[in-house]
């Protein structure tokens, strides 16, 4: 009903890629971190890193349904850290370059990012400011033809391996939203320091860094869009970031449920398979119903994006629902696995760890609720 | 050099196969259909030869409309054009009849090489390649894992593994090669390839278009008859050998292999 022959062909291709190039490696990557340059090059060669981007820069110039199919299939990856690393590159660190970047920035950074020759990261969160983005302290002060950046960023996905960071920094001290710049910061510049690789509860295969900038001098031409407008541009970029979390969430939650149904159909307790217990069956059905709702809210958002409507309200609702649902399903399914679910050797324990992040990252649930309340007019 | 690749659409190897109520066919309702994996090696090899020697790759498939998807996959991988032989009268035909129809579709084309998979992973018969080569009166090189075409494009040198050794064979062209696992690692259809595939020519031919008589095809004309399909026996549960130490377990295992399994 929603997809044509080419969408199906893309789905088959990404499925095959995930089955052959990603899933056989995720256990190792959980231990050692996903090698992004190697993975992104393969994906770039298949045209997967710029599905909606302009063909002039190596993108495919395709519509949001193709993007959705791609994101859905990434949901079948058996470790949340891999799709997160990919989505940071395709939906969090590059949309602003595509939409607001100069020709120079598109040629120098977007093109190699789409080809898979460069790895990107998004640098917004700081030790003292996360979802409260306006409280950012990292400074970028204009000096001749460059900006001098000082400060630090925390919880930066892909931060250890990135070739450039799309970085939000304060360009002056005036209060309000027009005192920021969004910069492309190449990581090989003097003054760029990866201070720590962080150890996390979940998403263990993804590399997460603390970054430090010590008089880092970046050319003024690396500013995306107008001076002072970085915050506004990043708020728009957040819409891509929040949207891209939705398809993978309902797909992986459904995979988790399927895996659980499979397990409790075989697991005998008190003389019958666990799945014969009405309380468990009904719990599963409640989740499946909510998953279906999230999927169709997502499809509605795709239709809105296709028609050019602002979907901030719906995307915020989707992100809120996705964060709550993914953890609820993983937690509830782990319960059905019992002691086996508590063992690190079961995939469900990884799903449980990985699913905790979505209510925090990319705008916490509480922030989503505030955004929705504001848009509702109260 | 011009290359033809024959492809069959088969149930995805992950499909749970169910036998139909007639006991002679499988239930096709929930099957996901894919290109026969051995044919995929053929497509890949043809594309590599084209990249080296130039020319065109034509994909020939046979079966219902859905086979178009697999032909499009080959086009998305980089093949140039496709032919689908589709006719209601083909329903129930055996492999010999399939080869006959494919031969009719190929015989007037210009070709130097033909690839087929060494067998389809559905029926596991491995008949079409040999029958097709016979019908076209060209040499057949079967179960091939390496292909080298001479610089002048007039001959081919291939390798076929036999019991731990390798048989090296040379042949004049045109010839037919059946692809074996190990020949290559098939590429993915890239997204730009997928988008280009829909603009590539794909001709559909009926038996009449190929100058063939419907009466020679279908279930009534089968030379091979399927008597009954039976599922493989259900696997019995394994046995865990008890014991405190590796030595104890090994001794117990040896005893079981001798007394119960009677293999020692």
How many CB atoms within 10 Å of residue B32? 9
Enter the tokens of residue A268: 């005998």
Taking contacts as CB-CB distances below 8 angstroms, the residues of chain A near B192 are 47, 60
**Do A183 and A254 belong together in one domain?**
no
Predicted confidence (pLDDT) at residue A108 exceeds the cutoff of 70: yes
Predicted confidence (pLDDT) at residue A131 exceeds the cutoff of 70: no
**Do A369 and A238 belong together in one domain?**
yes
Torsion of CA A233, A234, A237, A243, to 10 degrees: -140
In percent, the amount of chain A with pLDDT more than 70 equals 99
Task: Check which CATH number belongs to the domain holding A330 and give it.
Answer: 1.20.140.10
Task: List, in order of start, the domains of chain B with CATH numbers.
Answer: 2-221 (3.40.50.620), 233-264 (no CATH)
Which secondary-structure segment (H or E) carries A302? Answer: helix A278-307
- How many domains are contained in chain A? 3
What is the DSSP annotation of B196-256? HHTTS-EEEE-TTTTT--GGGSSGGG-SS------PPPPPPP--PPP-SSHHHHHHHHHHH
What confidence tens digit (pLDDT) does each residue in A25-75 have? Answer: 999 999 999 999 999 999 999 999 999 999 999 999 999 999 999 999 999
Residues 6 or more apart in contact with residue B194 via CB below 8 angstroms: A6, A9, A10, A13, B76
- Lowest-pLDDT range, A190-194, B182-186, B226-230? B226-230
Whether B237 has its CB under 8 Å from any CB of chain A: the answer is: no
Q: Do B72 and A10 touch (CB under 8 A)?
A: no
Whether B32 has its CB under 8 Å from any CB of chain A: the answer is: no
Helix axis angle, A5-17 relative to A64-74, nearest 10°? Answer: 30
What confidence tens digit (pLDDT) does each residue in A230-243 have? Answer: 999 999 999 999 99
End-to-end CA distance of chain A: 37
ipTM of the prediction greater than 0.95, yes or no: no
What confidence tens digit (pLDDT) does each residue in B94-121 have? Answer: 999 999 999 999 998 999 999 999 999 9
Range of the domain at A198: 121-227
Taking contacts as CB-CB distances below 8 angstroms, the residues of chain B near A60 are 191-192, 195
What confidence tens digit (pLDDT) does each residue in B214-252 have? Answer: 999 999 999 988 899 998 888 888 888 888 899 999 999
Q: Do A47 and B197 touch (CB under 8 A)?
A: no
Closest CA to A87 of A252, A312, A331: A252
Interface test with A, best of B12, B13, B194 (most A CBs within 10 A): B194
Whether A6 has its CB under 8 Å from any CB of chain B: the answer is: yes
Residues 31-60 of A with CB under 8 A from B: 45-48, 51, 60
**Do A203 and A253 belong together in one domain?**
no
Helix axis angle, A230-266 relative to A278-307, nearest 10°? Answer: 150
Closest CA to B73 of B180, B154, B187: B187
- Looking at every residue in chain A, the average pLDDT score rounds to 96
Instruction: Choose the final residue of a domain: A119, A148, A170.
Output: A119
Q: Do A9 and B192 touch (CB under 8 A)?
A: no
What confidence tens digit (pLDDT) does each residue in B41-57 have? Answer: 999 999 999 999 999 99
| Alpha carbons A22 and A13: distance in angstroms, whole number | 13
Instruction: Choose the final residue of a domain: A164, A193, A227.
Output: A227
**Do A291 and A190 belong together in one domain?**
no
Closest CA to A98 of A240, A298, A302, A309: A240
Q: What does DSSP say about strands A164-170 and A180-186: parallel, antiparallel, or unpaired? A: antiparallel
Q: Do A47 and B69 touch (CB under 8 A)?
A: no
Catalytic residues of A: 241
Task: Check which CATH number belongs to the domain holding A48 and give it.
Answer: 1.10.540.10
| Alpha carbons B85 and B100: distance in angstroms, whole number | 11
Contact A281, A319 (CB under 8 A): no
Instruction: Choose the final residue of a domain: A69, A95, A119.
Output: A119
Q: Which of B69, B188, B198 sits opposite A13 (nearest CB)?
A: B188
Count of CB contacts below 8 A, A vs B?
42
Q: Within 13 A of A242's CA, how many CA atoms are on the CB side?
A: 29
**Do A338 and A240 belong together in one domain?**
yes
**Do A177 and A269 belong together in one domain?**
no
């Amino acid at each position: 009903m929603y997809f044509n022959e080419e969408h199906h062909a893309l789905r088959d291709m990404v499925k095959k890629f995930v089955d052959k190039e990603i899933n056989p490696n995720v256990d190792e990557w959980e231990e050692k971190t996903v090698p992004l340059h190697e993975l992104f090059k393969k994906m770039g060669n298949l045209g997967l890193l710029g599905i909606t981007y302009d063909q002039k820069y190596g993108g495919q110039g395709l519509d949001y349904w193709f993007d959705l199919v791609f994101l859905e299939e990434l949901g079948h990856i058996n470790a949340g850290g891999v799709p997160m690393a990919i989505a940071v590159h395709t939906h969090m660190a590059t949309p602003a370059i595509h939409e607001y970047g100069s020709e120079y920035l598109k040629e120098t950074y977007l093109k190699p990012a789409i080809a898979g020759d460069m790895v990107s990261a998004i640098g917004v969160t700081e030790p003292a400011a996360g979802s409260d983005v306006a409280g950012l302290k990292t400074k970028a002060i204009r000096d001749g033809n460059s900006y001098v950046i000082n400060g630090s960023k925390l919880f930066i996905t892909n931060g250890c391996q990135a070739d450039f960071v799309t970085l939000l920094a304060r360009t002056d001290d005036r209060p309000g939203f027009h005192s920021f710049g969004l910069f492309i910061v190449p990581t090989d510049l003097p003054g760029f320091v990866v201070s720590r690789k962080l150890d996390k509860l979940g998403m263990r295969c993804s590399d997460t860094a603390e970054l430090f900038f010590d008089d880092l001098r970046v050319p003024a031409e690396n500013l995306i869009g107008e001076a002072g407008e970085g915050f506004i541009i990043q708020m728009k970029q957040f819409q891509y970031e929040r949207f891209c979390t939705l398809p993978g969430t309902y797909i992986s939650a459904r995979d988790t449920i399927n895996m659980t149904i499979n397990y409790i159909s075989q697991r005998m307790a008190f003389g019958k398979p666990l799945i014969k217990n009405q309380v468990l069956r009904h719990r599963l059905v409640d989740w499946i119903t909510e998953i279906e709702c999230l999927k169709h809210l997502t499809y509605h958002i795709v239709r809105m994006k296709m028609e050019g409507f602002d979907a901030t309200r719906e995307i915020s609702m989707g992100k809120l629902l996705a964060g709550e649902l993914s953890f609820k399903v993983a937690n509830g399914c782990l319960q059905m696995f019992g002691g086996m679910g508590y063992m690190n050797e079961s995939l469900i324990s990884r799903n449980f760890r990985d699913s905790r992040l979505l209510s925090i990252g990319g705008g916490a649930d509480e922030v989503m609720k505030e955004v929705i309340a504001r848009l509702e007019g109260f | 050099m011009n290359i033809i690749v024959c492809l069959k659409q088969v149930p995805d190897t992950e499909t749970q196969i169910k036998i139909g109520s007639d006991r002679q066919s499988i239930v096709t309702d929930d099957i996901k259909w894919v290109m026969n994996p051995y044919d995929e090696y053929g497509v890949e090899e043809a594309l590599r030869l084209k990249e080296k020697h130039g020319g065109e790759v034509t994909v020939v498939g046979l079966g219902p409309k859905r086979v178009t998807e697999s032909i499009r996959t080959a086009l998305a991988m980089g093949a140039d054009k496709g032919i689908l032989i589709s006719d209601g009268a083909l329903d129930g035909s055996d492999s010999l009849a399939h080869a006959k129809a494919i031969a009719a579709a190929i015989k007037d084309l210009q070709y130097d090489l033909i690839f087929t998979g060494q067998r389809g992973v559905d029926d596991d018969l491995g008949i079409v390649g040999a029958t097709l080569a016979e019908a076209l009166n060209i040499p057949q090189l079967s179960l091939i894992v390496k292909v080298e075409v001479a610089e002048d494009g007039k001959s081919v040198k291939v390798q076929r593994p036999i019991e731990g050794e390798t048989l090296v064979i040379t042949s004049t062209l045109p010839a037919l090669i059946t692809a074996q696992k190990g020949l290559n690692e098939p590429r993915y259809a890239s997204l730009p390839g997928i988008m280009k595939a829909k603009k590539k020519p794909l001709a559909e031919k009926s038996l009449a278009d190929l100058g063939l008589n419907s009466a020679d095809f279908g279930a009534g004309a089968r030379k091979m008859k399927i008597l009954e399909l039976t599922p493989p026996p259900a696997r019995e549960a394994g046995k865990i050998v008890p014991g405190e130490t590796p030595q104890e377990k090994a001794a117990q295992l040896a005893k079981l292999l001798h007394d119960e399994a009677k293999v020692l």
